[in-house]
Amino acid sequence: MTEDADGMSLADRLARRIRALLISGELTPGQRLSEAAFSERFDVSRNSLREAFRLLTKDGLLRHEANRGVFVAVPTMASIIDIYRVRRMLECGALRQAWGQHPAIRVMRETADQGRVTRDRQDWAGVGSANMAFHAAVVDLADSARLNEFYERISAELRLCFGLLNDPENLHAPFVEMNETIVARLEAGRPHDAAAEMETYLNLAERTMLKALERACEPA
Amino acid sequence: MTEDADGMSLADRLARRIRALLISGELTPGQRLSEAAFSERFDVSRNSLREAFRLLTKDGLLRHEANRGVFVAVPTMASIIDIYRVRRMLECGALRQAWGQHPAIRVMRETADQGRVTRDRQDWAGVGSANMAFHAAVVDLADSARLNEFYERISAELRLCFGLLNDPENLHAPFVEMNETIVARLEAGRPHDAAAEMETYLNLAERTMLKALERACEPA
DNA sequence: TACGAGATATTGTTGAACAATATTGACATT
DNA sequence: AATGTCAATATTGTTCAACAATATCTCGTA
């Protein structure tokens, strides 16, 4: 899963490690990331750490306040709405123009199946991973390196939102069936229907996320 | 045009200055950017400069080779094809789902008119600027901060490509009419037609760019 | 409690240092 | 002349220590 770690500069490797901490929920939204503490923790210089912070800030995972330091980004309604707007544009667009024999369709099929298997096993983390991989494959249909990279960034931000919520079952499980429908439409040579289905999916997912965020913000 | 320069960190300001040099063509594709030379030139420390380089690398404007330094990215056929794939997805998508009363439509109208005025004046740089602003307004129809930011990055990369070519007239002038058509379709409440027109536009622009790049690479 | 003033800690930026790697150039070999 | 070798040189990668600027905290006083 994790790719080649060598050849990349220290800051890149650092950014990757911190990103992992972020999406694993080990670092909670709003938390301040002290330069001193983290350079100590990772045994790197403050300068190198600052380069890594800068990258993650550009990715939207950290927020930078002048003279106050960097903080883990806190998901808001606005950011969720924005993220789903992006997803509708990218994923529905990719589906609509998908070539019938594109290799990514096989990846979609595999990850959709994987989603069902893990769900039946009640392995919710597995369902989440399969789901993310499914949608990355959808974007890959567009055959654009820049789009893929952009989606990766959006995807990381979304995972940050997931971390805030603690209900992986309701967050991912309901979507297994829809993924299967979408890939089936595509396999049947009906990309437009697949896109329509995806739009339904994303609207539902967005509502679910917003509702979950609402609950998370105002705990009884 | 240029926004508030204070409040931002040194690296951000540096990145902006260097970006300006890049899109103005003062730095030519493939050129190596020495850390020593640039930290001298801008009178900043190497550390700060490296942070700026990192940001621009993430934007795709610079390329980083391990232990060899950073270089101005060189546009290739592949990158142009990729960029236009992104543009088709973003701009056509934004048009298709555009709300009829969106304020960005007025910006589109204004920049389209501005394009005609500057063209009649044979102010090709002006035509280029108006054109870029027009398409930024198109993306703005989608009402997504992340999409806008992403498009800005793509846009900067594209300007880098323009710099390589030296034929602003043929590169921008033919598109004045098409922009007017597109915004007219939108004003007439026919977003789908506008999107179709945009697709035609982008296909034509892509071909023009590829042809121009070909000529630039193999000078007689 | 509210308010300032000074003490403290943190970030912003710099400059120098050194290791690791890449480039150059002189020299020898064919 | 072309090519390969190896030391000399330059550049990047990373660290460290320092200091200015700004934010946060503490505490004494009204």
Query: Cβ separation of A147 and B89 shorter than 8 Å?
Result: yes
ipTM confidence score: 0.94
Q: Burial-class residue B184 by CB neighbours within 10 Å (0-12, 13-18, 19+).
A: middle
**pLDDT per residue as tens digits for the range B146-192:** 999 999 999 999 999 988 787 878 888 889 999 999 999 999 999 99
| B60 vs A167, higher pLDDT | B60
Q: Which chain B residues have a beta carbon less than 8 Å from that of A48?
A: none
What pLDDT is attached to residue B154?
Answer: 98
Residue B119 domain flag: yes
Residue B3 domain flag: no
Shared domain for A204 and A116, answered yes or no, is yes
Q: Find the domain containing A42 and state its range.
A: 10-72
**pLDDT per residue as tens digits for the range B41-97:** 999 999 999 999 999 999 999 999 999 999 999 999 999 999 999 999 999 999 999
Shared domain for A90 and A189, answered yes or no, is yes
Shared domain for B66 and B82, answered yes or no, is no
Q: Which chain A residues have a beta carbon less than 8 Å from that of B90?
A: 89
What pLDDT is attached to residue B2?
Answer: 43
Q: Per-residue pLDDT for A1 more than 50?
A: no
Q: Per-residue pLDDT for A159 more than 50?
A: yes
| Total count of domains within chain B | 2
Q: Which chain B residues have a beta carbon less than 8 Å from that of A51?
A: 50-51, 54
Using the 3D structure, point to which of B54, B72, B90 is the last residue of a domain: B72
Residue A1 domain flag: no
Shared domain for B178 and B105, answered yes or no, is yes
Note the strand D nucleotides within 7 A of protein beta carbons: 11-18, 21-24
A96-117 CB burial, b ≥16 within 10 A, e <16: bbbeeebebbebbbebbbbbee
Using the 3D structure, point to which of A72, A105, A125 is the last residue of a domain: A72
Using the 3D structure, point to which of B45, B72, B99 is the last residue of a domain: B72
**pLDDT per residue as tens digits for the range B7-36:** 688 999 999 999 999 999 999 999 999 999
Shared domain for B148 and B170, answered yes or no, is yes
Nearest CA-CA distance, residue B116 and chain A, Å: 30
Find out whether A134 and A181 touch, Cβ atoms under 8 Å: no
Shared domain for B93 and B32, answered yes or no, is no
Which of A8, A62, A91, A144 to probe by mutation at the B interface, max B CB count within 10 Å?
A144
**pLDDT per residue as tens digits for the range A49-72:** 999 999 999 999 999 999 999 999
Shared domain for A83 and A189, answered yes or no, is yes
What pLDDT is attached to residue B1?
Answer: 44
Residue A85 domain flag: yes
Shared domain for A89 and A177, answered yes or no, is yes
Ramachandran region, residue A30 (left: φ > 0; alpha: ψ -120 to 50; beta: rest): left
Q: Burial-class residue B125 by CB neighbours within 10 Å (0-12, 13-18, 19+).
A: exposed
Q: Which chain A residues have a beta carbon less than 8 Å from that of B64?
A: 9
Per-residue flag: B35 CB under 7 A of strand D: yes
What pLDDT is attached to residue A95?
Answer: 98
Residue A4 domain flag: no
Residues of chain B with a CB closer than 8 angstroms to some CB in chain A: 7-9, 11, 47, 50-51, 54-55, 58, 60, 64, 66, 82-83, 85-86, 89-90, 92-94, 142-147, 150, 154
Report the distance from CA of residue A67 to the C1' of nucleotide D29 in Å, as an integer: 30
Shared domain for B106 and B142, answered yes or no, is yes
What pLDDT is attached to residue B185?
Answer: 97
Report CA Rg, chain B. Answer: 18
Find out whether B133 and B175 touch, Cβ atoms under 8 Å: no
Report the pLDDT averaged over residues B124-149: 96
What pLDDT is attached to residue A61?
Answer: 98
Shared domain for B85 and B120, answered yes or no, is yes
Residue A2 domain flag: no
Query: Cβ separation of A89 and B85 shorter than 8 Å?
Result: no
Shared domain for B45 and B109, answered yes or no, is no
Residue B2 domain flag: no
Nearest CA-CA distance, residue A55 and chain B, Å: 7
Residue A205 domain flag: yes
Q: Which helix (H) or strand (E) holds B87?
A: helix B77-87
In total, chain B counts a number of residues equal to 220
CATH number at residue B156: 1.20.120.530
What pLDDT is attached to residue A2?
Answer: 43
Shared domain for B146 and B164, answered yes or no, is yes
Query: Cβ separation of B144 and A47 shorter than 8 Å?
Result: no
| B164 vs A115, higher pLDDT | A115
